[in-house]
Amino acid sequence: MAMDDRKILIGLGRDALAAEMAAIGEKPFRAKQLWHWMYNRGETDFSRMTSISKPMQAALAERYVVGRPKVARDLESTDGTRKWLLEYDDGNHAETVFIPDTDESRGSVCISSQVGCTLTCRFCHTGTQTLVRNLTAAEIVGQFLAARDAYGEWPTPDDGGRLLSNIVMMGMGEPLYNFDEVSTAIKILMDGDGIGISRRRITLSTSGVVPMMRRCGEELGVNLAVSLHAVTDELRSRIMPINKKYPLAELMRACREYPGASNARRITFEYVMLKGVNDSPADARALLALIKGLPAKFNLIPFNPWPGSEFECSPAADVRRFSDILQDAGYSAPIRQPRGRDILAACGQLRSASERQRHSRQAARLAAGIEDDHHPQPAVP
Ligand code: SAH
Ligand code: SF4
């Protein structure tokens, strides 16, 4: 619901939108029209949907709003990375980041799936944020729409030449702990009559929620990225508590069985480089042994520090040596360039802006029990 009790339309899948129109006595073509206006043209105002009659525009405006999150802050990094702090109707915040490719004709929108995260990976700033609720499909889709608005990329270019070309579900939260809403949102973003981003341009990153991985592949068919970060259960459980629930052997089995993975569509293993913790040549060789036989590629992420973090980033030479060992074995193993560090938009840094908001004017509202109402998954013990 919007603030004023009108229903929000974005976030309804095609069938749900058709059902909504049927409920007010409209034929299916009305849903099609709306879909086009909302997701192809980016229109938010019914009175500008010119193919819809004036009385119908008014009837729609009485019951519905198209819906957009409020942009509470809009920050641009010196490297072109941009971060939006979005505010939802209940006062909660989530962050969305746009990372342009270095050639600046394309780029990835990094989308959050939860406010905070119930998991507590030791190297991750989001993981220290205890307040959690799942984002709704409307709030997830809304992040991409807000990014599009900011770059004026409407109507959807049909030649594929768009700046906001890719989506990575790598913002705040664990997407596979909010799968239903994430799935509805991704299907809307992939729909060819609207935004039409191909599944090949969408990557979902998980910390390893094993029981949901197959469904993710079957239902969405997006690229999978797995936050691996350690090659032994002992270390992984220490820095990623979810490993106690789904240890490496189970995680690797789920990767082997991931629908749609092939040599042409490899699973990305993300590996954060922590100085003296997981960055030795022996670790690199153990990593190769672990993923043997899998269609894999790597993404080495230099650790991004945040206030109070207990780790340091591995020295550049050690990261390079690690990467060389993987590449010499025939795997792609780029070192991710940290982007947007100056605005705390880099991997694992999302949180602080929300916290600042929280500690000021949101404090009372957020303290008033939102946590309990929306806590989606218990933290892994
Ligand atoms: N929850 C999901 C997706 C969001 S995190 C997941 O964990 O996969 C996106 C990536 O950033 C993950 O690989 C995560 O492990 C990594 N990351 C978290 N904190 C980081 C930090 N401080 N520096 C670098 N990468 C970090
Ligand atoms: Fe959550 Fe991912 Fe951060 Fe772990 S790395 S705390 S799963 S957002």
Question: 295 and 176, same structural domain?
Answer: yes
Question: 38 and 129, same structural domain?
Answer: no
Which DSSP letter does residue 345 get? -
* pLDDT for the residue 147: 96
SS3 content of the chain, % helix, strand, coil (to 5): 40, 15, 45
| Ligand 1 mutation pick, 206, 270, 349, 352, max ligand atoms within 8 A of CB | 270
Q: How far is CA 81 from CA 96, 139, 147, in A?
A: 11, 21, 12
- Is residue 370 in a domain? no
Of 17, 42, 65, which closes a domain? 65
Question: 257 and 324, same structural domain?
Answer: yes
- Is residue 279 in a domain? yes
Nearest C-alpha to atom 5 of ligand 1 is from which residue? Answer: 170
Q: How confident is the model at residue 244 (pLDDT cuts 50, 70, 90)?
A: very high
Quick one: which atom of ligand 1 is closest to the CA of 349?
22
- Is residue 237 in a domain? yes
- Is residue 60 in a domain? yes
* pLDDT for the residue 348: 63
Kindly report, residue by residue over 13-38, the tens digit of the pLDDT: 999 999 999 999 999 999 999 999 99
Q: Which two tokens stand for residue 261?
A: 């993975």
Which residues touch 264 (CB under 8 Å, ≥6 apart)?
none
Kindly report, residue by residue over 271-285, the tens digit of the pLDDT: 999 999 999 999 999
Question: 60 and 83, same structural domain?
Answer: no
CATH number of the domain to which 29 belongs: 1.10.150.530
Q: How confident is the model at residue 74 (pLDDT cuts 50, 70, 90)?
A: very high
Question: 76 and 28, same structural domain?
Answer: no
* pLDDT for the residue 381: 27
CATH number of the domain to which 105 belongs: 3.20.20.70
Q: Cα–Cα distance between 373 and 96 in angstroms, integer?
A: 24
Quick one: which atom of ligand 1 is closest to the CA of 311?
22
If you write DSSP's letter for every residue of 136-185 in order, what string do you get?
Answer: PHHHHHHHHHHHHHHHT--SPPTTS--SS-EEEE-SSS-GGGSHHHHHHH
What's the CA-to-centroid distance between 53 and ligand 2, angstroms?
Answer: 47
Tell me the mean pLDDT in the region 181-195.
97
- Of the candidates 20, 95, 139, 174, the residue annotated as catalytic is 95
Is the previous residue joined to 211 through a cis bond, with omega within 30 degrees of 0?
Answer: no
Q: What is the reported pTM?
A: 0.90
What's the CA-to-centroid distance between 16 and ligand 2, angstroms?
Answer: 31
Question: 196 and 111, same structural domain?
Answer: yes
- Is residue 310 in a domain? yes
Asked if residue 162 lies in contact with residue 153, where contact means CB atoms within 8 angstroms, the answer is yes
Question: 92 and 222, same structural domain?
Answer: yes
Quick one: which atom of ligand 2 is closest to the CA of 240?
4
Give me the domain span that covers residue 54.
Answer: 7-65
Active site residue 347: yes
Kindly report, residue by residue over 196-220, the tens digit of the pLDDT: 999 999 999 999 999 999 999 999 9
Helices (H) and strands (E) in the chain, counts: 14, 13
* pLDDT for the residue 367: 33
Nearest C-alpha to atom 8 of ligand 1 is from which residue? Answer: 206
Q: How confident is the model at residue 365 (pLDDT cuts 50, 70, 90)?
A: very low
Active site residue 371: no
Question: 61 and 82, same structural domain?
Answer: no
- Is residue 261 in a domain? yes
| CA neighbor of 115 nearest in space, from 99, 98, 129, 97 | 129
Question: 88 and 53, same structural domain?
Answer: no
Question: 126 and 34, same structural domain?
Answer: no
Q: How far is CA 332 from CA 114, 216, 267, 297, 336, in A?
A: 30, 24, 11, 5, 12
Tell me the mean pLDDT in the region 259-279.
96
333 φ, ψ to 5°?
-145, 60
Question: 22 and 157, same structural domain?
Answer: no
Mean pLDDT over each residue of the chain, to the nearest integer: 88
Question: 58 and 75, same structural domain?
Answer: no
* pLDDT for the residue 373: 25
Tell me the mean pLDDT in the region 126-150.
91
Tokens 């919007």 identify what position?
Answer: 2
Per-residue pLDDT at 370 exceeds 50: no
- Of the candidates 110, 117, 313, 347, the residue annotated as catalytic is 347
Q: How far is CA 230 from CA 95, 245, 266, 283, in A?
A: 27, 15, 19, 8
* pLDDT for the residue 49: 98
- Is residue 47 in a domain? yes
- Is residue 374 in a domain? no
Q: Cα–Cα distance between 65 and 10 in angstroms, integer?
A: 9
How many structural domains are present in the chain? 2
| CA neighbor of 115 nearest in space, from 301, 380, 373 | 373
